[in-house]
Amino acid sequence: MNYWLVKSDPGTYSVEDLKRDKKTTWDGIRNHQARINLNSMKTGDLVLIYHSQTDKDVRAIAKVTKQAFKDTTAEDDRWVAVELTFVKELKRYVTLTTIKADKVLAEVPLIRHTRLSVMPLSMAQYERIIELSESK
């Protein structure tokens, strides 16, 4: 199993939207590295959902339920999408400030590659974010 983090502007599609819809097509990604990452996602992989722009925090867990397929919002067949299914909202949101201050998360792509919207996480990084979401 692999672990991922995807960023979404809550004004476009929020965790609340995913929770309501139960699943969604994660499309509209137009960054080459993000496309490589989407193509690497496998059914069953766990995905953290990060609200970008305003909130700047990790809010929920989703699961990949359909691997890369043609993104119907793109004219170019090389762009892909995946299907994500809502798993659960985090007990406590994990802020970007908290992530930046944590030694285990120092190398997380969210900090190092700020414009990347789909990024891999190591198991240790994923587990640390979950741990932070469960602490007081």
Check which CATH number belongs to the domain holding 39 and give it: 3.10.590.10
Distance CA 119, CA 109 (A): 6
**Position 10 confidence tier, pLDDT thresholds 50, 70, 90:** very high
Mean pLDDT score of the chain:
96
Please say if the pLDDT value at position 68 is more than 80.
yes
Distance CA 41, CA 1 (A): 9
Residue 135: predicted pLDDT: 87
User: Looking at the 3D structure of the chain, how many domains does it have?
Assistant: 1
Q: In what order do the strands lie in the sheet with 3-8?
A: 23-26, 80-95, 57-70, 46-51, 3-8, 118-121
Domain of residue 110: give its range.
3-134
Residue 62: predicted pLDDT: 98
**Position 4 confidence tier, pLDDT thresholds 50, 70, 90:** very high
Region 25-45: mean pLDDT is 97
Instruction: For residue range 70-115, list pLDDT tens digits in order.
Output: 999 999 999 999 999 999 999 999 999 999 999 999 999 999 998 9
Please say if the pLDDT value at position 23 is more than 90.
yes
Residue 126: predicted pLDDT: 98
pTM assigned to the model? 0.96
Instruction: For residue range 39-62, list pLDDT tens digits in order.
Output: 999 999 999 999 998 999 999 999
